[in-house]
Structure 1
Amino acid sequence: MEFSTERLTIRPFNRNDLQDVFTIYNNDDTCKYLLHDKWTHENMHERFNKKLENRVLTKETNLSLAVVNDTKVIGDLSVWYTDMKDTVEIGYSFSNEASGKGYATEAVSSLVKKLFVDFAVHRIQANLDARNKASQRLCERIGMRKEAHFIQDFWNKGEWTDSIVYGMLFSDLKLRK
């Protein structure tokens, strides 16, 4: 899957993207609310190779997409099917330098539209660490609704954390102009 927005190209990762992706994930602030720790020089090839393999979205395989501005990868979009019929979960990370320019909103909203139209998914959801206010704002900007707030339901990085679930149906997308 490859597509473009006004300012971005969204495509599968290629080998030349390693350094840009390492810059995104070798950052404490970016990884603070993710399930994994920041990437290191020792593990970056192993972690990046998994992204290279995730080129097609199927019931069995995840999809990882590079968000490219000009020639630089500024973001990473992930999609995978959940156990519920026609339901996918999305995840995203962006470089600090992309912050505040609307790139994340542009990329994620385009991905959501593509998933509804091209993959005919019924529902899209995002599960986030409740402390991640920027991610909550992004979900709300693209038209997702906050559906649940679970208290200390997830053990991550040595502590109990709250989780928030955002969800969206195709009908929610149509309501947005």
Structure 2
Amino acid sequence: MQIKTQRLKIRTLQNSDLNDIFDIYKNEETCKYLLHNAWNEKNKNEEFKQKLSKQSLEKDFAINLACILDDVVIGEINIWNIDMKDSVEIGYCFNSKYSSKGYATEALMAIVKSLFMNKKIHRIQANMDARNLVSAKLCEKIGMRKEAHFIKDFWNKDEWTDSFIYGMLVSDLK
């Protein structure tokens, strides 16, 4: 998958992206609401290798996409099938150095449109820690609606957390 937006290039992760992806995931604050802890020098190669090994929309695999600005990977978007026909979940993480400039919105809108128009996806959803209000706001900005707020439903990093589920159909595109 390769997409070009006004300012970004979006393509499948490559070996050469390791250091830029590490720059995203080494940040404790960035990983606060993710399912994994921040990466470190000891585990970065193994973590990245796992991302590269799973590059298809098959069960238990994801497509991992690099969002590139001026030859620097500033974010990652992940897409994986869920157990429903023509439905996917998306996840995303962007380098905090590039926040508040609209890059995540631009990238996600392009991905969502491509999934609906080119891949004929019926439904896209995003699940997140309910404390991640920046992520929730991003979902709303691209036209997703909050469909659920589950209370203390997910055990992560030694605590029960609430979660939000956002969803959208092609008819929700702005």
Which whole-Å CA distance do the structure 2 matches of 1:9 and 1:56 have between them?
A: 19
Give yes or no for the alignment of 1:140 onto 2:140. Answer: yes
Give structure 1 regions of 4+ aligned residues with deviation exceeding 6 angstroms: none
- Once the two structures are superposed, the pairs formed by residues 87-126 of structure 1 within 5 Å of their partners are 87-126=87-126
- In the aligned structure 1, how far is the partner of 2:128 from the partner of 2:161? 10
Corresponding residue of 1:152: 152
User: By how many angstroms is 1:61 displaced?
Assistant: 3.0
- What pairs up with 1:1-177 in 2 under 5 angstroms? 1-59=1-59, 61-173=61-173, 176=174
| Rounded Cα–Cα distance in structure 2 between residues aligned with 1:55 and 1:103 | 23
Aligned-residue offset at 1:55: 3.1
Distance in 2 (alpha carbons) for counterparts of 1:47 and 1:115: 26
Q: Name the SS for the 2:51 alignment partner.
A: helix
Identity %: 56
Q: For residue 58 of structure 1, report the CA deviation from its aligned partner.
A: 3.7
Q: How many residues align?
A: 174
Structure 1 runs not aligned, ≥5 long:
none
Q: Over aligned residues, Cα RMSD in angstroms?
A: 1.0
Partner AA of 2:80 in structure 1: W
TM-score normalised by length of structure 1: 0.95
The CA deviation string for residues 113-138 of structure 1, in whole angstroms up to 9 with x for no partner, is 01101111110000010000100000
TM-superposed CA distance for 1:60, in Å, is 5.5
State the distance in 2 between where 1:32 and 1:59 align: 27
